[in-house]
Amino acid sequence: MLDKTIIEKINKLLALATSSNENEAAVAAQKASLLLAQYNLSLADLGSQDLTDITELVVETTTRFISWKMLLLCGIAEANGCQAFRNNYNGNMRLIGSHASLIVCQNMYEYLIKTIERRANYRQGRGRAYLNAFRVGCATRLSQRWLSSRRSN
């Protein structure tokens, strides 16, 4: 049996991930995700009653398909036990999963979008194609790392 303090710590981090402070929520969600991966746990192992409720969340709405954002969202969703898809009719990028997983995924997505954009801004002046390739590469590599860490655990 897993130490109950680990489960309590993850539950506290997930509760903190709903904080109104954006930075605090992102850090808490990221730490919760890392602990889940480190101890090879899923959110179902935490024993919360609201984890059985599958919900849907619109993460972002775009007018055109932005491949690197969808790659990133799919990688985050897969790493956290959710599913990601995009509605081509209205441009909604959506996640489906438990409420706690959606909070973790949304906070990770928002944080990583800002981080990738900030890193891409350092490369201004090299052209749109280069910047897009850089963003796609970042999203792909992050997804590969999450997948390999899940396989190794």
Within 13 Å of residue 10, how many CA atoms lie on the same side as its CB? 25
Reading phi first (left if > 0) and then psi (alpha if -120 to 50, else beta), residue 40 is in: left
pLDDT tens-digit map of 66-100: 999 999 999 999 988 899 999 888 999 999 988 88
pTM: 0.68
pLDDT tens-digit map of 95-151: 998 888 888 899 899 999 999 999 998 888 888 999 999 999 999 999 999 888 777
Looking up tokens 């990133």, which residue turns up?
72
DSSP state of 20: S
Question: If you average pLDDT over every residue of the chain, what do you get?
Answer: 83
| pLDDT higher at 5 or 22 | 5
Domain boundaries, the chain: 4-152
| pLDDT higher at 133 or 51 | 133
What is the spatial distance between Cα 132 and Cα 140, in angstroms, rounded to a whole number?
12
Task: Kindly tell me if the per-residue pLDDT of 153 is higher than 70.
Answer: no
What is the spatial distance between Cα 109 and Cα 45, in angstroms, rounded to a whole number?
23
| pLDDT higher at 36 or 64 | 64
Can you give the C-alpha Rg of the chain in angstroms? Answer: 16
Reading phi first (left if > 0) and then psi (alpha if -120 to 50, else beta), residue 86 is in: beta
Query: Within 10 Å of residue 9's Cβ, how many Cβ atoms?
Result: 14
What is the spatial distance between Cα 60 and Cα 94, in angstroms, rounded to a whole number?
7
SS3 category, 97: strand
